[in-house]
Amino acid sequence: MPDHLSEILRCPKCSKHGKGRLAKTENGDLQCKETDCLSLYPVSDGMPVMLTDAGDFLGFRRKILAARPAGIS
């Protein structure tokens, strides 16, 4: 995922409050920097999966995270 996208994307849970900056993790995923949120958004094939738990009715985000090797969240 291009670096400039991580600079403009915001956490869907926190963006309505003008917050929700995201940072890349060691795995290349995105994580909300807000200490009361810290939501993790996986990046699959270069595309961030910006679904919240409520919006992930098909479980796509959870399936990506569950497929990771043990110890990687």
The model's pLDDT over 27-42, given as tens digits with 9 standing for 90+, comes to 888 999 999 999 888 8
Q: Across residues 40-56, what is the average pLDDT?
A: 81
- Please tell me which residue, 20 or 53, carries the higher pLDDT value: 20
Q: Is residue 71 part of a domain?
A: no
Dist CA 37 CA 47 (whole Å):
21
Strands 47-48, 40-41: pairing is unpaired
Q: Is residue 60 part of a domain?
A: yes
Q: Is residue 44 part of a domain?
A: yes
pLDDT at 47 over 80: yes
Burial code (b: 16+ CB inside 10 Å, e: under 16) for 21-50 equals bbeeeeeebbbbebeeeebbbbbeeeebbb
What is the pTM for the complete model shown?
A: 0.71
Domain count, the chain: 1
Say what percent of the chain tops pLDDT 90: 16
**Average pLDDT over the chain, rounded to whole?**
81
Q: Which domain holds residue 23?
A: 3-66
Q: Is residue 73 part of a domain?
A: no
Residue 54, token pair as written in the block: 């409520």
